């Protein structure tokens, strides 16, 4: 790549590119070089060259991710609670995924940088939820199948009119839809809130730059699965750190079947929390549970 007649800024970014150690940093500096590269006829070849290098690097990153993911299993294993992040290109899908999970993503001002689904696990107070970013809805890599089978669809938009365009391609979706308005520009939030409310949409206003509303978002995502969290404990001990997940209206019997080898060894069951009349109430196997109950089995 000859850079003899290039601007000082370009040379600086090129130096940074050459010094970059990770592929992610390399991509970042390549993109800066693309921005700095003059857009006239004589540099056409050079620009094309830069873009090819970027494409190869992106493919390399996606390639290693794919290998890592497919080791031991084929395709995407659907976890109990799965939510898909979808939206137009550059709406901030990768930014959101990296805020909520430890997934390795490419966040880039360049359009269509995510070319295959990227998986991450979100930890919501000990509950693990699978989040998948699918390539932009307008791209050839968009994965309809994944979207149609997901439990929850997170529709990321930057302006209200995005919604109309996106909804057209969500005809066969079964999951609950949550609209995430990712604020990118200065927007009158009150007005926006009123508009979204008037459309009777389940929505959360977020900002992937300032990380606004991330806790509320996690809560909304969890509640969309309509599951309940149950803690268990042994007599005289603290309750479990992580809850177990059940369908609403599950009973003590359902929990017992999951945690005990043999439920006939139960001598007594106590319960704390929303479904109990008082803390430590003694209940039978038919007792129906509510979210955040704590169950104690005393066994022989």
270 lies in the site for Mg ion, by CB under 5 A: no
94 lies in the site for Mg ion, by CB under 5 A: yes
How far apart, in whole angstroms, are the C-alpha atoms of residue 134 and residue 158? 17
Q: Which does 13 bind (CB under 5 to 8 A by kind): ligand GTP, Mg ion, none?
A: none
How far apart, in whole angstroms, are the C-alpha atoms of residue 240 and residue 231? 6
- Cβ contact 245:229 at 8 Å: yes
Q: Which does 82 bind (CB under 5 to 8 A by kind): Mg ion, ligand GTP, none?
A: none
Q: Which does 3 bind (CB under 5 to 8 A by kind): ligand GTP, Mg ion, none?
A: none
Residues recorded for the chain: 300
- Cβ contact 107:95 at 8 Å: yes
54, 88, 93, 218: residue in contact with Mg ion (rule CB under 5 A): 93
Q: Which does 117 bind (CB under 5 to 8 A by kind): Mg ion, ligand GTP, none?
A: none
Q: Which is nearer to ligand GTP, 77 or 141 (CB)?
A: 141
Residue 183: closest CA among 163, 154, 212: 212
How far apart, in whole angstroms, are the C-alpha atoms of residue 230 and residue 232? 7
CA 65 vs CA 72, 241, 263: distances in Å: 14, 31, 43
The span of 32-40, 74-82, 91-99, 152-160 binding Mg ion (CB under 5 A) equals 91-99
Interface map 45-84 toward Mg ion (x if CB under 5 A): ----------------------------------------
Residue ranges that bind ligand GTP, judged by CB under 6 A: 87, 89-95, 107-109, 111-114, 136, 182, 184, 207-209
CA-CA-CA-CA torsion for 192, 105, 213, 218, nearest 10 degrees? 110
114 lies in the site for Mg ion, by CB under 5 A: yes
CB of 186 to ligand GTP, least distance (A): 10
Question: Using H for helix, E for strand and C for coil, what is the string for 18-32?
Answer: HHCCCHHHHHHHHHH
Q: Which does 184 bind (CB under 5 to 8 A by kind): ligand GTP, Mg ion, none?
A: ligand GTP
Size of the site for Mg ion (CB under 5 A): 3
């Amino acid at each position: 790549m000859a850079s003899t007649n290039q601007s000082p800024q370009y040379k600086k970014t090129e130096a940074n590119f050459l010094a970059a150690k990770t592929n992610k940093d390399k991509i970042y500096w390549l993109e800066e070089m693309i921005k700095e590269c003059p857009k006239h006829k004589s540099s056409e070849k050079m620009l094309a060259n830069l873009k090819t290098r970027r494409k190869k690097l992106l493919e390399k990153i996606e390639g290693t991710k794919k290998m890592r993911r497919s080791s031991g299993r084929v395709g995407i294993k659907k976890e109990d609670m799965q939510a898909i992040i979808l939206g137009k290109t550059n709406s901030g899908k990768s930014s959101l995924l990296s805020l909520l999970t430890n997934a390795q993503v490419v966040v880039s001002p360049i359009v269509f940088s995510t070319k295959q689904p990227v998986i991450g696990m979100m930890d919501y107070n000990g509950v693990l939820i699978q989040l998948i970013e699918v390539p932009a809805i307008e791209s050839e890599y968009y994965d309809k199948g994944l979207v149609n089978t997901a439990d929850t669809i997170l529709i990321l938009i930057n302006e209200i009119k995005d919604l109309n365009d996106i909804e057209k391609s969500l005809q066969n979706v079964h999951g609950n839809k949550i609209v995430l308005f990712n604020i990118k520009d200065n927007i009158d939030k009150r007005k926006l809130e009123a508009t979204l409310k008037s459309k009777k949409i389940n929505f959360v206003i977020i900002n992937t730059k300032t990380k606004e509303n991330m806790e509320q978002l996690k809560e909304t995502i969890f509640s969309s699965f309509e599951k309940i969290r149950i803690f268990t404990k042994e007599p005289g001990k603290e309750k479990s750190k992580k809850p177990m997940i059940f369908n609403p209206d599950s009973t003590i019997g359902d929990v017992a079947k999951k945690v005990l080898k043999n439920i006939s060894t139960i001598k007594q069951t106590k319960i704390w929390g929303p479904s109990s009349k008082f803390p430590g109430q003694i209940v039978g196997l038919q007792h129906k549970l509510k979210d955040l109950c704590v169950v104690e089995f005393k066994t022989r």
